[in-house]
Amino acid sequence: MIKLSKKGGQNVKKFNWKKIVAPIIMLLIGLLGGLIGAFILLTAAGISFTNTTSTGIKTAKTVYSNTTDTTKAVKKVQNAVVSVINYQEGSSSDSLNNLYGHIFGGGDNSDSSQEKSKDSDGLQVAGEGSGVIYKKDGKEAYIVTNNHVVDGAKKLEIMLSDGSKITGDLVGKDTYSDLAVVKVSSDKISTVAEFADSNSLTVGEKAIAIGSPLGTEYANSVTEGIVSSLSRTVTMQNDNGETVSTNAIQTDAAINPGNSGGALINIEGQVIGINSSKISSTSAVAGSAVEGMGFAIPSNDVVEIINQLEKNGKVTRPALGISMVDLSNLSSSATSKLDLPDDVKSGVVVGSVQKGMPADGKLQENDVITEIDGKEVSSKTDIQTNLYSHSIGDTIKVTFYRGKDKKTEELKLTKSTEDLSD
C-alpha cells in the first residue's frame, strides 16, 4: 500500500547541504590562515611587498637592525668631538690662501671668499681642525687638540656637534707632543670623552676616527679601520723648526687634513689616541702615493701632557744636555770608528755634551747609550720617552759603551729643556 504525503505527493529524501559546504568552508579558512601566516613570516624576515604599477617603483620598507658595536661606540663619544677654528690676522691674502690650500687641499683665491671668512674683528680663518672634550668642571670645560691646530691663533672658535659656536681660550700648548688644551664655557657641554689605557691596545683591533676632515663642512665624520701598529716612531719638525721623534699609534682608518686633534676610539667608545698626522707620500719610492697610514698620539701620553698643560700652561721636561744620532743611521765606516763590541748593533751615539747640564762630566762624544734604567735603548725616541717620563730632580741610570768598555753612570736630572742652548 502506497502512503501519500500530506501534500499529496510521493515521500522524497531531503538533500544535506551541510555535508558539502562545511568542508569547503574549513578548506577556505585554512588557506586564508596559511596566506596570513606566510605574509607575517615574510614581513618579519625583511621582505616587503611593493606596488610596481604604472605610477612608478616604490622603495622597499625593509625592516632590519642597524645598530652595531661601531654605531654604539660612535654614539657614546660623538657629541664630545668638536671642530676647532683658528683665526689669524689676514695681513697677506696670498699667504692666507696658501695656508688655506695647505690645510684643505685647495683654496679660493678670490678676494670675496677672503672677505667672507673674516670675523667682526677683521680676523680670517687660517685653519680648521678637530678637538675632544675630555673634562667638565663647573662652569668650564676642557678640550684637547693638536698644537699645530691652534698655533698662531689670535682667536679660537669651537663648533660643537650641534653646529653652535662658542669662543675658546688657550690654556697651554706643547710643541714636542703636538698637543694643546683649550678652555670653553660648559653651558652647552653635555658629553665628555673617556680615555682608555693605550698600553692595552692590540694590533688588529677596531679603531674608529671621528673629526672634521677638510674643515667644519664635514664635521663629525666617522671612519673605521684597525690598529695597524703600536709604538711607531714618527719624526717631524715642530713649530720651532726642531726635528722631534714621537711615539704614535698607526691606523688605517681614513685620516685627512682637519682630522688633526680629533678622536681615535676603540669599540667601547673610549679615546685611545688623538689623531695627529698622515703620511701621504714617501721618498722611499719616488712619486709613490700612500694611503691608509694615519697616526695618533697614544691616550696615556695625552693624559700625562694635558694634566701638565692644565696646571702649568706648559710642559717642563728634564734634559741631559746632549746631541744624539741613532747608531743604525751611521754608515759602516763611521760605526767601525766607534770600536764597539761585535754584538752591539743598536743604541744612540752621543754627538756633543753641553756644559753645566746633567751629562757634563758623565758622558762624552762617541759614547753609545744602550740602556736607561735597565731598559734597552735603540733610538732617540727611546731616550726621549724614558727621559720625559721623569720629573726634574729624579735620578736615572745610563748604561753606555765607550769603545769596548761598558759603563754605567747615575745622572741627576737637575735641568730642563728650557736650559738647552740653541
Gap between the Cα atoms of 3 and 61, Å rounded: 73
Residue 82: predicted pLDDT: 97
pLDDT higher than 70, residue 161: yes
User: What pLDDT, in 10s, does the model give residues 210-249?
Assistant: 999 988 999 999 999 999 999 887 776 665 565 666 789 9
- DSSP structural state of residue 195: B
239 has catalytic annotation: no
The answer to whether 102 is a known catalytic residue is no
Query: What's 4's DSSP letter?
Result: P
Per the listing, cell 746632549 goes with: 322
Of the listed ranges 13-22, 55-64, 319-328, 407-416, the least confidently predicted one is 13-22
Q: Are 168 and 155 in contact (CB under 8 A)?
A: no
From 212, 260, 277, 299, the catalytic residue? 260
Q: Yes or no: say if 232 and 247 are a contact pair by the CB < 8 Å rule.
A: yes
Residue 49's pLDDT is what? 54
Does the pLDDT value for residue 154 go beyond 90?
yes
- Say how many C-beta atoms besides its own lie within 10 A of residue 217's C-beta: 12
* Cα–Cα distance measured from residue 84 to residue 170, given in angstroms and rounded to the nearest whole number: 11
Distance CA 78, CA 263 (A): 9
pLDDT of amino acid 171: 97
Per-residue confidence at 284, pLDDT binned at 50, 70, 90? very low
Name the band, by pLDDT with cuts 50, 70 and 90, for residue 59.
confident
pLDDT, residue 363, reads 97
401 falls in which pLDDT band (50, 70, 90)? very high
Q: 164 — phi, psi (to 5°)?
A: -75, 155
Share of the chain above pLDDT 70, in %: 78
Quote the CA–CA distance of 230 and 204 in Å, as a whole number.
10
Task: pLDDT band for 386, please (50, 70, 90 cuts).
Answer: confident
Active-site position among 83, 130, 151, 178? 178
Question: How high is the pLDDT of residue 353?
Answer: 96
Chain centre to alpha carbon of residue 187: 26
pLDDT in tens, 11-37: 555 556 666 767 777 777 877 777 777
Residue from 148, 177, 228, 277 carrying the catalytic annotation: 148
Nearest to 146 by CA among 211, 192, 217, 97: 211
Q: 172 has which bridge partners?
A: 181
Q: Which range among 51-65, 74-88, 214-228, 368-382 shows the weakest confidence by mean pLDDT? A: 51-65
Cell output for 120:
667682526
**Active-site residue, 260 included:** yes
Least-confidence region, from 82-91, 157-166, 256-265? 82-91
Tell me the CA distances in angstroms from 71 to 203, 223, 251, 292, one per residue in order. 21, 11, 19, 22
Q: What is the pLDDT of the chain when averaged over all its residues? A: 83
What is the distance, to the nearest Å, from the Cα of residue 234 to the centroid of all Cα atoms in its chain?
15
pLDDT score for 94? 43
